[in-house]
Amino acid sequence: MLARIITGLSAGAAYALVAVGVVLIFKCTRVLSIAQGEIGAFGFFIGLRWAARGIPGLGWHPARFTTLVIAVVVGAVLGGLIERIVIRPLVDRPPLDALIATLGIALFLALLEKELFGTATQFAPSPVGEWKVTVLGATLIAPRIVALAAAAAVALAVFLFFSRTRFGLAVRATTGDSTVAQLMGVRVNRVYRFAWVTAGALAGLAAALLGPAFGGLTPFAMTSFSLRALAGAVIGGLDSIWGAIVGSLLVGVLEAVVGGQFTTPGTAELAVLLLVIGTLVARPQGLLGTEGAT
Amino acid sequence: MPASRVATVVAVVATIGGSLLLGDVKLSILVGVIVTAIAALGLDVLVARTGELSLAHAAFLGVGAFTAINVGSRGAPWPVAILVAVATTAAAATIAGLPSLRIHGLQVAITTLAFQEFADVFLFTRTDVTAAGRTWERPAFLRTDVRLYLFALSLLTLVLIVRHRVAVTKAGRTFLAVRDIEDRARVFGVEPGPSKLLAYAISGAIVGLGGSLFALKAGSISAKDPFLLLESLQLVAILVVGGTGSAAGIVTASVLVKGLPQFISTIPFTHLKPDRIVPITSAGLLVVAVVAAPEGIGGVYRAAGRLLDRLTGARRRERPEPRPHVVEAGADGATMLPHVERPLSLRMPVPALLEAHDVRVEYGGVTALDGVSLEVRRGEIVGLIGANGAGKSTFFNAVSGLAPASGSIRFRGVELVGRRASIRSALGTSRTFQDLGLVRAESVQENVLLAQTWLARYAAPVGILGLGGTVRTERELRKRGAIALEVFGLDHLARERVGALPYGTMRIVEIAAAVAAGPDLLLLDEATAGLGPEESHELGDRFLAIRDELGLTLVIVEHHVPLVARVCDYAYCLESGVLIAEGKPLDVTADPRVVESFLGRAGTASSGADR
Amino acid sequence: MSGAPLETLLAVEHLCSGYGSLQVLFNVDLDVRAGEVVALMGSNGAGKTTTLRAITGQLRKTAGTVRFAGVDVTRERTEALVARGISVVPEGRGMLRDLTVAENLEVGGYAMRDRRALIEATDRAYTSFPILGERRDQKAGRLSGGQQQMLAVARALMSNPQLLLVDEASLGLSPVMTETVFALIADVRRTSGTAVLLVEQNAGALDLADRAFVLEKGQVVDRAAGAEMRAMQRRLRDAYLGRREAE
């Protein structure tokens, strides 16, 4: 049981990386992006293609690490492009329009991946080595450990960014009231771009870690990962970064625990689904979200 | 008949006629296209009319198809199988729509996404659900592909008829009202909750019909791809590329996205791989359409139709303004609203039509109305003035049931406090809103019909089927609406989209709609806001005419105090939720407390210096 | 104060604007000279806030020009105005409710890149408004209405503006609090020489204004300066409450 919870937490940590991006985008631009998973996966596939294969016999080769770097960079660039080309023109339109646009982007990227890289599962050597750690009966492979560490690092970075930096303050001002922020000289378009670029980079990081942890990725596989991240963000509250992290961990744990108890396929998904709908109906703003924010 | 309609009929007939010349293989492809088109048209009922997005419509298509096979393969006659499939899918969609009673927009979209995911991994992996190994034999009369194709076409036609019936009856109007002005629509007699669920049910029923057709064509289903998340996304793509609300656009988009790849692959010696190119292109087009062409293919059709009509002279541009004065209500008008003899300038010794006693309204700890007592007598025009935030609109909300009030509000002796908003119009109150209670995407005529919702005393589903005298009721309501438009000099604009009219005209449309609902008491909230000086003056004349010629009692919330002085018999002034003055308008505006309320202390100081 | 020819700071000419098909402003002309307090009066819906939004670029101007300190800023982006020396106390105070008092002030000084200048400006704000200093770590949303209004003014002054635009400072405040806020604004002009454009419904604003414009239905229908202000107060009452026939 404890082992399952720990495995679940490591998966949840990877979802959290995507979910933090989803929330960042939502807080800043009021857009719910369901393309984050595919943005990350696209980066991951490009990274795989370009990264040199590791040297046999060595557990880890620096070249493999470039997969991760490329995934992050491609994710960030894609995020920035999408913000500029697709999202900005939709500013004054109903929120569902932007949602549909991100849906189209998700579909487009997934199909493009299929064209470029085929439908076979892309086996990914771990970008962070092949070591393992056993904690309380749970054996975690390196990418899962790094996902946990990365989620913790992101949480810390988010905290420092928002509390200590000038630009972090500008982002908070923009999410509080973009008109007031503008009047005070904050260039809100930069804030919007920042949100999308950061979210893209986090999605790339998540995909680079999730790919190896889940034994490879196929096009569209990230969509189902990003659905879990989305579930985490919604449960935690779409306008709360901490909520996104808590919600994602909850989703990961729930999935691992329920999936372990019941063998019927789909039971874990059903549990997550019920949690999402239950949260939305009982507390539409999510666990840590602000009332009326969504 | 306008040229655009002739062109449409010719195009449809030619397309169907031409398609019949195609071989069996291609007809079979076309049946598949029609399945997709029906599913997309069902999704469109939800998206275009309620504004909610469903990402689970492929799952609903699956529910329909699997149900049809399960029932049909057990020997039930084909109409029974189809009916059961339609009902089951409608029920499934209604259940999936339940969260929309609590939440909106993005969150609803997420719950449907969750529903689709649940179907993908849970429902459609169960062999008892998917009727694995079972086969539904096609009935004898549908054995050939041509016949199946004709049958599919007739189902498509049925769907189009249902969509049309939804659009022209209470159902469609209330859907749009709930989408655009949910709370405000309640004063017309609209019940938002049941209305939303009905939209899900209709949408589900249509998709269920598509699922049945899928099952009829396939006989048995082994691959569940057509019912998975990807397909739901594809349906949204077809909808957006085709253009929400446009049946022609959606059918065209279905042909392009679903049919084209398969047609191309039947051409010999082609090296194109359309089954790979088309999906990715449609995904790309979806993004382009959302950003650059939100009306999609339907928008192109509409523009072409307008151009054709303009070229053939079938369409004239009307001046988007009402004729200046209220036309005297003639014989027809008199049947609409009883003519009452009056003009009065004194407070009449008649019983009060509206008596408010100690009305309190609190919003989350803030007291918006703090024990207001006032009365309105039959045949009066009563003014309600006060600075911003004084509680004037809150008082209207209390009367019309949009704000939780305590105390007593008696209308014609009937207690209103505690009653639902949706029945107050039936009791005889009607109102307008500061920010317009109009569905801007709809025509003037439809808005007037919407305001009469409480008069459409039939169940919305019955109306769609056109049973039980609903056709006659609708005809009567239309006539009533036409009279109201004529009275307000708006009849030439009946078919114009409200959102395209100048602001001042929209104000008059809203008042005409409120009057069409046949009230005794009309509450007008800031009717002159956003109007120029001449327009405001004219509107004042209309207030007098509504009272004198149509016999209504009016309460007007007005910032423009000179207008109140001109048209009102009696006035009340509110400040911070408390009544501070009442009396004849000129006395009220001279009251030092009123002056201070409007101008601050400096105002009273200077008025003191004057004397 | 009206005698000396002062430099024109803000000049708005033939300004037209609105929301969608709704035109709200019709050829609005007004000006503010360096160091003076100008009141833009009008009842609800007269177009006061719309005028301010159009000047600051939050609303599209369909016609007209806006010049500030001799420079055409008609098409200037909202974000750039603060660097030019225009600062705004927004309608409804514009509190960033989840940010602390200190953070709100820091946002007010966002345009200043110099860290030291920011600290000086913050100290200045705490000196002028000691209550804000006491509550510097409190969330702005938890301040009282009057304190929020102080913070809004203090925040706008962080960037050392030449012109302060104040949108309905009295809205939602008690009469006593309103007088306090007006006194505060009078102080601002006295101590820093910042010009102020007060957009107000409350006629109390006329007591501290050097000149005034009256807006009605989106048009400037009246203007006054100096000794004429008294007569304007009377006219304003008529505009709000209707002309009384020979009393």
In a mutagenesis test of the C interface, which of B388, B599, B601, B611 is the best target, namely the one with the most C β-carbons within 10 Å?
B599
- What does the pLDDT read at residue C242? 66
Instruction: Please name the residue ranges forming H helices in B243-316.
Output: 247-254, 260-266, 274-292, 296-311
Which chain A residues are within 8 Å of C96, Cβ to Cβ? 172-173, 176-177, 180-181
**Distance from the B279 Cα atom to the nearest Cα atom in chain A, whole angstroms:** 8
Other CB atoms within 10 Å distance of the CB of residue A15: 33
What is the Cα–Cα distance from A143 to B47, expressed in whole angstroms? 42
Mean pLDDT computed over A226-238: 89
Using an 8 Å Cβ cutoff, are A254 and A272 in contact? yes
Q: Per DSSP, which regions of chain C are E strands?
A: 8-19, 22-33, 37-41, 61-68, 71-72, 86-89, 163-167, 195-200, 211-216, 219-225
Three-state secondary structure readout of chain A: CHHHHHHHHHHHHHHHHHHHHHHHHHHHHCCCCCCHHHHHHHHHHHHHHHCCCCCCCCCCCHHHHHHHHHHHHHHHHHHHHHHHHHHHHHCCCCHHHHHHHHHHHHHHHHHHHHHHHCCCCECCCCCCCCCEEEECCEEEEHHHHHHHHHHHHHHHHHHHHHHHCHHHHHHHHHHHCHHHHHHCCCCHHHHHHHHHHHHHHHHHHHHHHHHHHCCCECCCHHHHHHHHHHHHHHHHCCCCHHHHHHHHHHHHHHHHHHHHHCCCCCHHHHHHHHHHHHHHHHCCCCCCCCCCCC
CA C219 to each of CA B506, C37, C46, C167: distance values in angstroms, whole numbers, following the listed order: 22, 20, 8, 18
In a mutagenesis test of the A interface, which of B57, B113, B236, B287 is the best target, namely the one with the most A β-carbons within 10 Å?
B287
Say if residue A292's pLDDT is above 70: no
pTM of the predicted model, to two decimals? 0.86
Which amino acid would we find at residue B494?
A
User: Which residue ranges in chain B fall short of pLDDT 50?
Assistant: 327, 329-346, 603, 605-611
Using an 8 Å Cβ cutoff, are B437 and B151 in contact? no
Instruction: Please name the residue ranges forming H helices in B401-443.
Output: 424-427
C contact set with B (CB within 8 A): 21-22, 24, 26, 43-45, 170-172, 175, 178-179, 201-207, 216-218, 230, 233-234, 236-237, 240-244
- What does the pLDDT read at residue B40? 97
Identify which of C56, C99, C103 has the shortest CB distance to residue A183.
Answer: C56
Return the closest-CA partner of residue B304 out of B1, B2, B4: B4
What is the gyration radius of the CA atoms in chain B, in angstroms? 29
A115-168 pLDDT, tens digit per residue, is 887 777 777 677 777 778 887 777 888 888 888 888 889 889 988 998 889 999
Say if residue A220's pLDDT is above 80: no
Q: How many CA atoms lie within 13 A of B475 on its CB side?
A: 5
Angle between helices A62-82 and A95-117 (to 10 degrees): 140
Please indicate if any CB of chain B lies within 8 Å of the CB of A220.
Answer: yes
- DSSP per residue, B75-135: T--HHHHHHHHHHHHHHHHHHHHGGGGT--HHHHHHHHHHHHHHIIIIITT-HHHHTTT--
Nearest chain A residue to C115 by CA distance is A166
Confidence of residue A197 (pLDDT cuts 50, 70, 90): very high
Task: Decide if A276 and B110 are in contact by the 8 Å CB cutoff.
Answer: yes
What is the Cα–Cα distance from B276 to B262, expressed in whole angstroms? 11
Other CB atoms within 10 Å distance of the CB of residue A63: 15
- Coil, strand or helix at C35: coil
Nearest chain A residue to B48 by CA distance is A96
The ipTM assigned to this model is 0.88
- What does the pLDDT read at residue B240? 92
Let me know how long chain A is: 294
Confidence of residue A193 (pLDDT cuts 50, 70, 90): very high
What is the Cα–Cα distance from B24 to B44, expressed in whole angstroms? 30
Burial label for A211, CB within 10 Å (0-12, 13-18, 19+), is buried
Which chain C residues are within 8 Å of B502, Cβ to Cβ? 21
Say if residue A43's pLDDT is above 80: yes
Please indicate if any CB of chain C lies within 8 Å of the CB of B610.
Answer: yes
Q: Per DSSP, which regions of B289-438 are E strands?
A: 352-363, 366-377, 381-385, 405-411, 414-415, 429-431
Nearest chain A residue to B126 by CA distance is A265
- Coil, strand or helix at B606: helix
Name the token pair of B543.
């207030």
User: Which residue ranges in chain C fall short of pLDDT 50?
Assistant: 1-4, 245-247
Task: Decide if B599 and C236 are in contact by the 8 Å CB cutoff.
Answer: yes
- Helices then strands, counting H and E runs in chain B, come out as 25, 10
What is the Cα–Cα distance from A39 to A31, expressed in whole angstroms? 15
Mean pLDDT computed over A253-262: 87
Task: Decide if B291 and A220 are in contact by the 8 Å CB cutoff.
Answer: no
Other CB atoms within 10 Å distance of the CB of residue B560: 29
Task: Decide if C217 and B536 are in contact by the 8 Å CB cutoff.
Answer: yes
Q: What angle do CA B179, B183, B184 make, to 5 degrees?
A: 95
Name the token pair of C156.
């706008």
Say if residue A217's pLDDT is above 80: no
According to DSSP, the β-strands at B570-575 and B381-385 are parallel
User: Which distant-in-sequence residues (6+ apart) come within 8 Å of B433 by Cβ?
Assistant: B181, B184, B510, B525
- Coil, strand or helix at B592: helix
Name the token pair of A281.
């109906």
B305-330 pLDDT, tens digit per residue, is 888 888 887 656 666 677 655 545 44
Please indicate if any CB of chain C lies within 8 Å of the CB of B607.
Answer: yes
**Distance from the C86 Cα atom to the nearest Cα atom in chain A, whole angstroms:** 9
